[in-house]
Structure 1
């Protein structure tokens, strides 16, 4: 459409040839401008679509990353809840076994007391048996002596009776003849009768003594049998108590082993809970810092420039939030310098690393030593959340600034921070980086 008229114009040899060429050039230029405008609009629209698409993809990637971190946080919290439940069950088992052990110990103590009383009774009974045996032996000796005395008296009395019977007539005649009077004769007869009566009485007393000794001996023998029976019963009871006590002690040993194992299991569960709590806290910090950093990426301007300054709120672009070194100062050098002041005092509002400073003053003065400014004027835990570049928790490095609610510290590596902790502790370097919920991590070196 455009080339044909142009060709016709050049093929005509007329006076108005140059005028027509001029008109046609204007039309061509107009058409070109329209085409260029169309191409420009098309290019801009394509570029806009691409930009919008990239923003959408990046936002989607960021959202997915944040969603994954939130899911990890939720899983860590669920793991923590499960570990806490398991620890509670382990503690209940420890309490149950402890109660059973205490109850069993009470039973053992009661058996011990019964056994002590029983042994005391046995000891008393054995002493009584020994005393009874001594009395039996003594009664046996007395009985033997009584029987011998009785036999001798009986023998002597028989001899006298026989003598008097055989010589009774002679004796009576002799006593009558030799007596000076009838009274003397009667006295002699009375005397003879008295001797016979005495012998009889003496024999009767010996017999009575023997009978009494025999009765006592019989009683002692019966008592001995009774005591021995009691001794057998007490010995049987002692054997039963010893057997029961042995069984209880064996049961106690088993309970103690179970209790020890349960306590070890509870301690292990406590360790698991502590680790799960640290993991949940770390996941929460990662999610919080990542979310805060992602928000800062979409809303803040470019990163800080050189010259040692580290002001502004810029962050590194793209995912990961692991900006590189921009000052040439190593984080390990910052930590080494900060550690020189560990043990120095904490002074609220202070800015002397030697005489005392607070948390933000400590961080500001440490970086000031390396020519790095953390903003004009007095730094605070709030203002330090926007210095340098944002860092994700998983990329934290020694020398990074860790911001908490109302507190700030320097990451020292190995999961610890160096900080001006408080007036009670001063400057320290032993606390965990997750000792408080992390609000931001900033890199200025």
Structure 2
């Protein structure tokens, strides 16, 4: 029960201590908040609180807490206010401290404007309200003409507004990205291939066949597959055959952003084989540079730019598997880069003659190379392919097969 005490008997701090110990009971009478604040201020002045030692201040605080019923934190705040202001008064809180400035009618008008103008931005709505009142003299918008943009959005969150602006929107389909947009990180391991498509020309509105060129980043081991078209009907079986042609386990599959590779069917195939699918980043033209350089150095150099009709796709693909792929992997040397850091701290690549070798030799030179091979594939079997014939004999057979291929396609021999 709130009380006020007659403190005339408590003149000294000793008497206060005795009272707190329960040795000096005093008469009490119920106070009001104003009387309670006045009594606290009188007590502080009576004992000259600001001049007391720390222990005596604690005694006075305990006394005020006991009599007033306030917590120690509240008494501390009241003492600080008394010392700062020189007095302590009870401040009556108004019953309605924050009167709503905007009425339900304003919310209705806001909903009406948003409906008419298809929910424009906050600044646009504010300008419309200003024009409605100032330019066209509509007094209903007098209050809304002075509303702030931020508070306009607050009114849009009210229940009254939302009940007037019910809209039904169909659930939007979530588009999940296919593949990871980043550069592959093989870390010296074979099995991270770069893939690209080469189109063998158009003629009189007729499409030519397509080459699918895949190159391993570390060993430059390359597999070329030819198809009639790049639709799912031809592409999925071709990719399965391409992935099976590599002697080592495929871990990564990197392509540009072409839809022939970045689609659900290809993603499902790679997921089944536990192969990571990555795609080139925006404004990073070098992400797939290895495959694109091989397009020119191998595909265009050996097969040219001329239009080859789609009906010859199986014939060209047989030439690839029997002659072209063995030649470029086991008998055609290529440069391998050496990475170094320049004076500015930037990593650069240089190509030295001592690092020139065939892709197969590069594969064998890797540390623990046999651990990267597919199950059932051994270097003894691969050596039989690589060293059965010489490089010159492999090139001679390639040239003969190519001449025969072009004679079949074009009706004449194509110059080497």
Of structures 1 and 2, the one with the larger relative CO (CA 8 A, separation 6+) is 1
Q: Report the structure number with the largest CA radius of gyration.
A: 1
Q: Same fold (TM over 0.5)?
A: no
**Structure whose residues are more often strand by fraction:** 2
When normalised by structure 2's length, the TM-score is 0.19
**Structure whose residues are more often helix by fraction:** 1
